[in-house]
Amino acid sequence: MKEKVSFGPDKRAWKPSPLVGQIVLVTTLNADGQSNIAPKSWISMMAFEPSLLALGCNRSHWTAQNILRSREFVVNIPGEELAEIVWSTPMRPHPRPVPSVGLTPIPAQKVKPPLVEECKAHLECVLNHQLTFGDEIMFLGEVVAGSVDKAALESRDPYTYLKMVVFLEDRTFGVIEKGQQIREKTTPPSIKTRPG
């Protein structure tokens, strides 16, 4: 039997981390209408209909304040080549418009915050609901539009093109380098017999 080592519930102390969070660049609008950009990794899809994603953030952050005020945000998906910019972005002072980190804002389809041109995919969201846990807030954003680089669709493996990054632990990230499909088309018996 393999030996197991216990660890506590504080994710900041997990080394290695058994849970990963996709790294995204969230764009919002500041009160003066100027763009704001921030990296986030507390994000996950929550529902199909409506298409909802959850985004976690500290309530004091500009991102949270902007979403609460404007009720809109964009989740931009960076590739591996933007990792250094992602890590350096929090060091730059606010109001932190998109160009201040060396990236290019372009118009979104349905919301006011911009897309980041250098990112490879984008999810435009409107605030559906929020939950507060102490200093943290979780936004449920309804995805109202999405886009992806045409080159991803033309690639033999779009995930090789996207090279999405995930947060592992402090100063450590991973890269999704390819997509793999399950070859066997039958469902394992344990799943077939399990209700609901």
CB-count exposure of residue 9 (10 Å: 0-12, 13-18, 19+):
exposed
∠ CA(164), CA(170), CA(175), 5° rounding?
20
The mean per-residue pLDDT over the stretch 154-161 comes to 97
Q: Which domains occur in the chain, in start order?
A: 19-192 (2.30.110.10)
Q: For residues 13 and 161, which has the higher predicted lDDT (pLDDT)?
A: 161
pLDDT at 69: 98
pLDDT in tens, 99-137: 999 999 999 999 999 999 999 999 999 999 999 999 999
pLDDT at 170: 87
Percent of the chain clearing pLDDT 70 (strictly above): 94
pLDDT band at 184 (very low <50, low <70, confident <90, very high): confident
Provide the mean pLDDT of the chain.
94
Query: Is 194's pLDDT higher than 60?
Result: no
